[in-house]
Structure 1
Amino acid sequence: MGTPRTDIAILDEDLIECRACPRLVEYRERVARDKRASFRDETYWGRPVPGFGPADARMLIVGLAPAAHGANRTGRMFTGDRSGDFLYAALHAVGLANQPTATHRGDGLELFGVRITSPVHCAPPANKPTPTEREECRHWLESELRILRPSLRSVIVLGGFGWKALLPTLDNAGWSVPRPRPGFAHGSHIELPGPEHSIHLFGCYHVSQQNTFTGRLTTDMLESVLSAAARAAGLGPGRL
């Protein structure tokens, strides 16, 4: 992995050059080449997707992996698909984003004290990365957490895959995760002690269409978790 990265911009630059997982490289590039008919005139990103948000974020949102025709197309987390539409509208509603939509990297979107990332940075086939791919990608998230550690106060994990991937990563980045490790549940809240300060960990159902279209995750449910995590991070009440 080379020299430890100490700057978010350098981390992101290194990340987008990663070709460690042959299956993911082949898939992300094939999707970018073949495209979806509705996006045939667009140039796809087709590379690993870095985190999005300020380098001194107090709150982190952790998803699963980029969507093939969403972030793999636009190059920005949760941008250009229905899941992102749901997430960014809620972030705007609680005062954590300057606008409710995310369509492309130059659309003017800004997050307030929040960064969005994922344990796997390449779009996987069927939206299902393998455990091996998750482990191969883990050092990127560990580096991101270490860089954010001085400012970070809360983390929201979207779904069980992200939860399972994040707990050992938080442990390696300096926070104490209880054993046995707590299971994922929507609305769960755990405070993890750390060497300099504790961090508040929240669970939330993923913003996938499977959850939002069926009502398993509603707008009110998501906004409630976002608001709780923002308060724990000290981002309210000015913006909330």
Structure 2
Amino acid sequence: MRTLAELDQAVTECRACPRLVAWREETARVKRAAFRDQDYWARPVPGFGPADAALAIVGLAPAAHGANRTGRMFTGDRSGDVLYAALHAVGLASQPTATHIGDGLELYGTRITAPVKCAPPENKPTPEERDNCRPWLERELALLRPTLRAVVVLGAFGWQALLPILATAWSVPRPRPRFGHGVRHDLPALDGGPPLAVHGCYHVSQRNTSTGLLTLDMVCDVLAAAATPLGIRR
């Protein structure tokens, strides 16, 4: 897989985790009442965004009735409503909403991905499922390496899954940096190239936003801090 397009296609064909395959397909069969007339994607969900992105946003996994339905990361659910509104507000997305593939949404210099590509029951992948999926994210980041300069990690799960992968190309301190909202760690490149700025942000889950733990302004602040030095905001 020499290009992101080839990688994305291969991701959609993965059946490595029996529990996740069964869950994503069962969810598509039963459906949520509001979407009973829709055909669900019901496959692994690849990353979304340009192949020369300078900024990556790393979440957790597709939502059962969001990306598992629409086939695009953070599209068609409450988490995506917050994330894309923030991306648009800081000049990283062409519009503040994401409803379906083909809705006109475009990301500027930014790619959204996740360490687990299939929707897990209760949004909780097992360590084995996370590890099965790891090669996909490793290859994705390797392909982004020439242009990637910053990462925003949404939540502790993504943080814990991502840091060991980053250690293949960047110097990750030991003990590993702890997750926190608004934290930033600059990782020197092992090959002598540009460093990588890693930013932490609470996950844009409905639980976090409905309780006030995370607000739209808080997401905007983290995204702006990551993107402004890169010159990719419009």
TM-score, normalised to structure 2, is 0.98
In the other structure, the counterpart of 1:191 is 186
Matched, 1:95 2:130: no
In the other structure, the counterpart of 1:214 is 211
Deviations 1:14-61 (A, max 9, x none): 010000000000000111111111101000000000000000000000
In the other structure, the counterpart of 2:6 is 10
Moved over 6 A (4+): none
Matched, 1:39 2:26: no
Displacement of 1:197 in angstroms is 1.3
C-alpha distance in 2 between matches for 1:168 and 1:218: 29
Matched, 1:156 2:152: yes
The number of equivalent residue pairs is 232
In the other structure, the counterpart of 1:53 is 49
In the other structure, the counterpart of 1:81 is 77
Displacement of 1:220 in angstroms is 1.1
C-alpha distance in 1 between matches for 2:205 and 2:2: 32
5+ residue gaps, structure 1, are none
Matched, 1:128 2:124: yes
Displacement of 1:232 in angstroms is 3.3
C-alpha distance in 2 between matches for 1:193 and 1:20: 33
How many percent of aligned residue pairs carry the same amino acid? 69
C-alpha distance in 1 between matches for 2:7 and 2:118: 15
Matched, 1:175 2:177: no
5+ residue gaps, structure 2, are none
RMSD: 0.7
Displacement of 1:223 in angstroms is 0.3
User: Which amino acid counterpart does residue 175 of structure 2 have in structure 1?
Assistant: P
TM-score, normalised to structure 1, is 0.95
